[in-house]
Structure 1
Amino acid sequence: MKKLTAVIVLLSLMNCSEKETQKQHTELQKDNPFNVALNEPFDYAKVTGESIQEYVSYEIEKANLILENIKKEASPTLENTFLPFDAAMNKLGQAGRNSFMLYWTSTDSITRAKGLEYSQKVDSLNTAITSDKTLFNQFETFKASDAYSELNDRRQRFVDDIIKEFVQSGVNLSEDKLEKFKTLKSEITDLTSQYSTNMNTANLVLTLDEAGADGLPESFKDTYRTENGTYEIPAQPSTGGPVMDNATRPETRKQYQMLYSNRGAEKNIDILNQLVKKRYQLSQLMGYKSYAEYNLVPKMASNPETVWKFIEDLVAESKEKAIQDIEILKTARKKLDNIDTDKALNPWDVSYYKNQILKTDYQVDTEKIREYLPVDACLEGLFDLYQELLDLEFRKIENASVWHEDVQAYEVFENGTLKGRFYLDLYPRPFKESWFYAVPLSTGKQMENGYEVPVAMLLGNFTKGTDKIPSMISHNELSTLFHEFGHIMDAMAYEGEYSLQADTKSDFVEAMSQIFENWIWDYNTLSAFAKHYETGEVLPKALFDNMVNAKNVSSGLSAQGSLRNCIYDMNLYDKYNPNQPLDTDQLWKDIDKQMGVMDWYIEGTHPQASWIHINTHPVYYYGYLWSEVYAQDMFTVFEKNGLRDQQTGVKYRKLILANGSQRPVDETVEEFLGRPMNNKAYIKSLGLE
């Protein structure tokens, strides 16, 4: 780990001022589970709603005092303005992220309520801070000084990015408009929380008799069998694949899809309408034509025109393959169920007939493959790969203090030096957030008394094992696991001077984890841990070869599905017209007609009511495809040098993962590639050459 002597001197000066500040406010109680020394883990098992309240209130009070001192500085410098600002925002960020994480994961209702309430208090304070004109003037005064021009590029970027964030937060608005901006931000935060709560507490269940459950894997049925012999299957991400891929009866697939696509719909349709309207109003206050135009300013794409062109080009690239894919699916349907190929393909039939093609034409049975992928073995294989490739070591924390008994904790080391800590919370339970996420809890930062290491949590929802069988995942879920753990490694890799430089551009962040999905398509990697849960037999090479041959079955249709979501997201936030508000159900139909491939929309469903991206991450979905282009191009370096080549892996960690925003993304990517990036590898990966 780098020892930044000059930085420590600057931090010493800042911390002297901070110590004086700390004398003026109340101390956090010694027994508060969040009151720990540098790099000691929080005592999550002892967290209560009361301890969250005290912890967040303490950090808010401390931050306010630090910021008030910054505003009083007669001669702003890097040391007396930007360094304490970074320190204050670092601790506020930790408080807000941990509070929100516990809202997502705690089994205690009061803890969840306080987690939400106090994470929102941090959000409100962040809005107030980044629109504080006096603070902003201090920053601009420093930027106009000779001292700014003497900073190196990385520190100038640090200063510039903070100032840009203030501008994007309305600091230059008139007082009345600024108050409206703050109100809208607060209302948006509250609405997004309501949306998530409604989605995660929907608890919709599909009840099936034996006939309705025909085709479902026996191990899956065992998990959801009731005492009276029926099956109660919750409509959640972990159950979608087994049902939609295997249920013989189309009525079962349709019923499941309708339940899944209606989670939270009763309240969330209206909430989404409000969110779109309020985000539009916010962008208007800021002088932009649309919320997308406002939102894209700090991203790589930078404007809607670039995003639309990117989407439209990929739509054109993949459309012919998608139409061919549909005809192949119809042919399979005709062969299996004697349904005429002239009849339109139902959306609830796509996954089922694709699975039948995989089984009959390629001898690939996703449920049989699942038997070779017990979660514990997958984690062991994943750990082995990441440790070897990135030259890191993971050590399990025995008897770790965690928020639920299923949660595991690990520390990450590099050559014996602590680099970070991560938690795994992999199985669903009541009231827990239902998606898959890598959740950053604390970023890396140079402190006076050492380096504060990053902390993150992987939130998953894999089907839990039973007394008879262990938890097992599909190859597709394995891809999700490798992807999300890539985000964990991104968090662990950061070793920068400032916490506010830990994050990269939001439309590049997925690339750094998407690249790792490629390793599960390497037999040497996969066979090292893919062993049958009963016999210990290694995944047969012949079966793996069939999987590779089948990799691009329906790839064009899959790409069009992702692009459909991108278009929907961009329509909500770039095409909103207050005089003709969107019908968010009709929009699905309009997009299907516009794309001209198939009608995906199921009458009576509202998938936009349980889609986290358009709720908390608007104007983001295109970023998955944008990032994938970078990911596949960067993977070519590993293909050239060797998939287990540690020198390449360490270079990737140090240059790409550890960068954050310290250097421009394209600059670091070009250095890693040894050339400018291109989309050839991405197009090849879809089978669209």
Structure 2
Amino acid sequence: MKLKLTSIFITLLILSCSNDTKTERLEMAANNPFNTELNEPIKYADVTADHISSYVSVVMDNTAQDIDDIIALENLTFDNTFKENDRISNNLIKASNNVFIFFGNSPDSLTRAAGLKASEDLGVLFTDLGANKALYKTLQKFADSKEGQALEGLEKKLMTQSLDGYRQSGVYLNATDLATYKKLNKEISELANQSSTNMNSHEVVLVLDEKQAAGLSENFKDTYKLADGGYEIPVVNATIKPVMENAISSDVRLAYATKKANIAADKNVTILDSLISKRNQLGKLMGFESFAGYKLQFNMAKNPARVWDFLNGLVEAATPKALEDIEVLKTFRNETLNTPNDSRPINPWNLEYYKNQLLKTKYQLDDEKIREYFPMDACLEGMLTLYQELLGLEFRKVVNPSVWHEDVTMYEVYENGKMTGRFYLDLYPRPNKEAFFYANPLTWGRQFENGYEIPSAMLLGNFTKPTDSQPSLLSSYQLRMLFHEFGHIVNMMAYEGPYTGLYWVKDDFAEGLSQIFENWVDDYDIISSFARHYETGEIFPKELFDNRLKAKNESSGLNAMYWLRRALYDTTIYDKYDPEKPLNTDDLWNDIDTELGIMNMTIAGTHPQASWTHIHGSAVYYYGYLWSEVYAQDMFTEFKKNGLRDTETGMKYKKLILANGDQRDNDEAVEEFLGRPTNNKAYIESLGLE
């Protein structure tokens, strides 16, 4: 998932407010698609580059006037400081999220460029606002007043978190350091956006002849067949597993893996070096030993020491199983190749192939055959039906929606007959579209004087696109991914608080709210309710499903090491950076592999960090996938106990956890849901490491 903008912006938007003599504000042109009434959907199909520029210009100009009005206030109240602050924050975040869609997903180069410039302009504004000393003094003056000190509940929490944002945004710095802070933030934003552009604009392909394509399924080959009989396979997320798990030729697997790990390397390795250095400077400027310390201060983990303890503890727990997994694969390799005495390590480009061949041999599992039971339309309908039933919601598909690309679909969310949200699904790859999987909010729920602004969100995916001869067919992994990302969507749809500033949970808890839903794909009653062979209509066979469950913890130690290796990498570059001895981001992969002692996962001459979006745009985030999953698996024990379709448990989960946002301490909310303090027993068991 990617929330690099929203999770950062909410800590920086310390704005506010107005008085009775408020200067008249600018208005957008009536024909600008962004000029909407409350809860009126934006007509994305009509948006042009000029609309984006005009929209952001109006928002920024009006914000500047609002700031002047705040500073001029004499009689301070909660409503004209922090509540008004939240209203303006809402407008700015909405603007940022909606123009960012076009930067990352528009098929038109002019709107992409306008979206990028608008995002960067707003980024500069966010930095300036967070470091505005006069604005801060006004807000702090109210906080120190008798009325401010008497605040309770959500109002007190909103005030406290708003002021906390200043501690992350340079307001205490002297003039020289403040100028440096603003300069660093601007440069970091520009570098991260440029790296994203480099990742999205690549056109890397692998061309194979019939012999080289041996092992690939006929359906897969037909999707990428050339007129001369060969195959041109795009090196994108949707093709990784089909090629790396099935291509018989080790040379083909090496060629694909090398191309994938070198996407944007000619530009992004240097960009990453700059990002690491500038973020380190920023962290130290703000009084921390590292950027990680600066970034983690308001997360659940609080500081790098706790993250290191957490990761090292998991490494210790996972290592014995990972070593066992390697030996199992070596034995399988040697038996398959009839080389019983071969003690050589497994090459990294062969790892997924051996794992897949082991599943085929030991459990009669062929994911390419399993795909045939998971056509996207059926999976999507089954998943939506489940979420509606479990959480007491209704999703209504909108006919002929106004969207940014013809592939995008739109749904309205209803609860008890009342519309409570809206979401968009952008599921298939195309040129110049972001190549990842994530969910992102577009508007955040908030109470206004004229009504409640319902949340809206988008799910971006890169699943295999349907062709004239067959539908999009999901692998087991992709089905799990779909359930995961849509879990973020229902989390966003569930929020019902009055303030935007309390909408989003801590970064290292956010993934858990969707990771929990991955468990539903491991239940046969759930799967069999929608999984049908796309040609014959046969229900997903129970024997095949049982074999999937038996194989769940095959290579679970190695799978855990995949996440740990990346979490260690992310945490290292942003916590252990020494400007006197700048680390080599290529060598670091080898250093971590050596330290873990499992196997060398790095292919010589490759730079996988160049196209890893998290470390460019969402630094010090990756450990959070593991941290969150501890909560996810523990919360899932309630559904295991009461039933995976139990609406009462689902509604309780929606009310206490999903709808909460950050209005209430996350640990407290989880403890009430479970009826006890949380623990990691279910998580360790889920990895097969107990």
TM-score of the pair, normalised by structure 2? 0.97
**Which whole-Å deviations, capped at 9, do the CAs of 1:168-209 have from their partners, x for residues lacking one?**
111101111011000000000000011011111121111111
Q: What displacement does 1:67 show?
A: 2.0
Aligned to 2:321: 321
Whether the aligned pair in 1 keeps the contact of 2:19 and 2:80 (CA below 8 Å) is no
Aligned to 1:10: none
Q: Does 1:252 align with 2:283?
A: no
Residues 286-685 of structure 1 correspond to what in structure 2 (within 5 A)? 286-339=286-339, 340-685=341-686
Residues 24-423 of structure 1 correspond to what in structure 2 (within 5 A)? 24-339=24-339, 340-423=341-424
Question: Per the alignment, in what secondary structure is the counterpart of residue 420 of structure 2?
Answer: strand
Q: What displacement does 1:406 show?
A: 0.6
Whether the aligned pair in 2 keeps the contact of 1:66 and 1:85 (CA below 8 Å) is no
**Which whole-Å deviations, capped at 9, do the CAs of 1:321-358 have from their partners, x for residues lacking one?**
00010111111111222344401101111111111111
Amino-acid identity (%)? 53
Question: Per the alignment, in what secondary structure is the counterpart of residue 412 of structure 1?
Answer: strand
2:618 is matched by which residue type in structure 1?
A: H
Whether the aligned pair in 1 keeps the contact of 2:19 and 2:73 (CA below 8 Å) is no
Whether the aligned pair in 1 keeps the contact of 2:17 and 2:70 (CA below 8 Å) is no
Go from structure 1 to structure 2 and tell me whether the alpha carbon gap of 1:212 and 1:60 turns closer, same or farther (over 3 Å shift): same
Gaps of 5+ in 1: 1-13
Hey, what's the Cα distance between the residues in 2 that align with 1:442 and 1:214? 47
Whether the aligned pair in 1 keeps the contact of 2:106 and 2:404 (CA below 8 Å) is yes
Whether the aligned pair in 1 keeps the contact of 2:428 and 2:463 (CA below 8 Å) is yes
Hey, what's the Cα distance between the residues in 2 that align with 1:60 and 1:397? 32
Whether the aligned pair in 2 keeps the contact of 1:670 and 1:676 (CA below 8 Å) is yes
Go from structure 1 to structure 2 and tell me whether the alpha carbon gap of 1:453 and 1:15 turns closer, same or farther (over 3 Å shift): farther
Hey, what's the Cα distance between the residues in 2 that align with 1:181 and 1:665? 31
Go from structure 1 to structure 2 and tell me whether the alpha carbon gap of 1:184 and 1:16 turns closer, same or farther (over 3 Å shift): closer
1:501 is matched by which residue type in structure 2?
A: L
Question: Per the alignment, in what secondary structure is the counterpart of residue 419 of structure 2?
Answer: strand
Q: What displacement does 1:586 show?
A: 0.5
Whether the aligned pair in 2 keeps the contact of 1:254 and 1:348 (CA below 8 Å) is yes
Hey, what's the Cα distance between the residues in 2 that align with 1:198 and 1:338? 44
Hey, what's the Cα distance between the residues in 2 that align with 1:636 and 1:628? 13
**Which whole-Å deviations, capped at 9, do the CAs of 1:659-683 have from their partners, x for residues lacking one?**
1111111110111110000000000
Hey, what's the Cα distance between the residues in 1 that align with 2:564 and 2:216? 30
Whether the aligned pair in 2 keeps the contact of 1:428 and 1:463 (CA below 8 Å) is yes
Q: What displacement does 1:18 show?
A: 7.6
Q: What displacement does 1:146 show?
A: 1.6
Q: What displacement does 1:17 show?
A: 4.8
**Which whole-Å deviations, capped at 9, do the CAs of 1:70-120 have from their partners, x for residues lacking one?**
121113221111111111111111111111111111010000000010011
Question: Per the alignment, in what secondary structure is the counterpart of residue 371 of structure 1?
Answer: helix
Hey, what's the Cα distance between the residues in 2 that align with 1:16 and 1:87? 9
Q: What displacement does 1:150 show?
A: 2.3
Whether the aligned pair in 2 keeps the contact of 1:284 and 1:290 (CA below 8 Å) is yes
**Which whole-Å deviations, capped at 9, do the CAs of 1:120-163 have from their partners, x for residues lacking one?**
11111011101111111111111111212322232211101110
Question: Per the alignment, in what secondary structure is the counterpart of residue 179 of structure 2?
Answer: helix
TM-score of the pair, normalised by structure 1? 0.97
Whether the aligned pair in 1 keeps the contact of 2:17 and 2:84 (CA below 8 Å) is no
Question: Per the alignment, in what secondary structure is the counterpart of residue 597 of structure 1?
Answer: coil
Whether the aligned pair in 2 keeps the contact of 1:509 and 1:627 (CA below 8 Å) is yes
Hey, what's the Cα distance between the residues in 2 that align with 1:270 and 1:375? 39
Hey, what's the Cα distance between the residues in 1 that align with 2:502 and 2:135? 19
Go from structure 1 to structure 2 and tell me whether the alpha carbon gap of 1:334 and 1:16 turns closer, same or farther (over 3 Å shift): closer
Hey, what's the Cα distance between the residues in 2 that align with 1:619 and 1:262? 22
Q: What displacement does 1:24 show?
A: 2.0
Question: Per the alignment, in what secondary structure is the counterpart of residue 508 of structure 2?
Answer: coil
Gaps of 5+ in 2: 1-14
Whether the aligned pair in 2 keeps the contact of 1:422 and 1:455 (CA below 8 Å) is yes
Residues 10-21 of structure 1 correspond to what in structure 2 (within 5 A)? 17=18, 21=22
Hey, what's the Cα distance between the residues in 1 that align with 2:670 and 2:149? 27
Hey, what's the Cα distance between the residues in 2 that align with 1:143 and 1:417? 37
Question: Per the alignment, in what secondary structure is the counterpart of residue 505 of structure 2?
Answer: coil
1:474 is matched by which residue type in structure 2?
A: S
Question: Per the alignment, in what secondary structure is the counterpart of residue 508 of structure 1?
Answer: helix
Whether the aligned pair in 2 keeps the contact of 1:66 and 1:84 (CA below 8 Å) is no
Hey, what's the Cα distance between the residues in 1 that align with 2:225 and 2:558? 34
Q: What displacement does 1:16 show?
A: 11
Hey, what's the Cα distance between the residues in 2 that align with 1:341 and 1:413? 60
Whether the aligned pair in 2 keeps the contact of 1:67 and 1:85 (CA below 8 Å) is no
Question: Per the alignment, in what secondary structure is the counterpart of residue 282 of structure 1?
Answer: helix
Hey, what's the Cα distance between the residues in 1 that align with 2:159 and 2:49? 36
Hey, what's the Cα distance between the residues in 2 that align with 1:57 and 1:669? 42
**Which whole-Å deviations, capped at 9, do the CAs of 1:404-442 have from their partners, x for residues lacking one?**
111000000110111110000000000000000101111
Q: What displacement does 1:19 show?
A: 9.1
2:198 is matched by which residue type in structure 1?
A: N
How many corresponding residue pairs? 675
1:204 is matched by which residue type in structure 2?
A: V
Whether the aligned pair in 1 keeps the contact of 2:16 and 2:67 (CA below 8 Å) is no
Whether the aligned pair in 2 keeps the contact of 1:15 and 1:448 (CA below 8 Å) is no
2:424 is matched by which residue type in structure 1?
A: Y
